[in-house]
Amino acid sequence: MIINKTSIPDLLIIQPNINNDDRGYFFESYKYSDFKSNNLPTSFLQQNQSKSKKGILRGLHYQLQYGQDKLVWVSQGEVMDVAVDIRKDSPTFGHYESLILNDENHYRFYIPKGFAHGYYVLSEIAIFQYMCTEIYHSEDEYGLIWDDPDVNINWPNGEKLVSDKDRKLPYLKQIETKKLPVYK
C-alpha cells in the first residue's frame, strides 16, 4: 500500500496495491501488519455500510467522548469525501480536505479523531463503507453544517439532498470550543 499525506497533518490517503487481470482485480483492503508497521490503528471495533443515491449529502458528523478514527472507502459508485479539522488549537482548525473515493481508485481515507466527516454522492448509487476504532454512541453524536461559509467547502454543483437532522447542525463558530477535541 502507498500512504499519501494531505495538506492537514494526520489525514491520510491510502492506495492499495491493486492486481488487475482479465478476470478483474484483487487487492488487500485492510492488512493488520501494514497498518501496524505504519503506526495506523489496528483495533477497529465497528464496520458500517450505507447505500445512497446521487445528490445525497451526509454529514458533517463527529463524536467527542467516544471519538472515532475512521477508515473510509467506496465499494460501488463515487463520492466526494470531506474531513474538517475541528481540533481546538490546531494550526489547521476549520480547514478541510476532500478527495474523490470510487470503485476504480479504491482509495481509503484515514480520518483520525478530531475531524468532522461527511460525503456527497456523485454517481447514481454509491455504497460507502467505513471502519471505526470506537462503537457508535447516539448520545455522543455531534455535527457541523455542511455549507458553513467559514469552512467554505468547495462542493460540486448539483442538488444537495440533506436530512432534516443534518440541515439543523450548527456553524463552526456556534460550537463551544471547550467541547471540541484538543490538538495534540
Catalytic residues: 61, 130
Alpha-carbon span 175 to 169, nearest angstrom: 10
Strand partners, 2: 15
Alpha-carbon span 44 to 34, nearest angstrom: 14
DSSP for 120-182 reads EE-SSEEEEEEEESS---GGGEEE--TT-TTT---PPSS--B--HHHHTPPPGGGS-GGGSPB
Alpha-carbon span 16 to 19, nearest angstrom: 9
Match 445528490 to its residue by C-alpha cell.
55
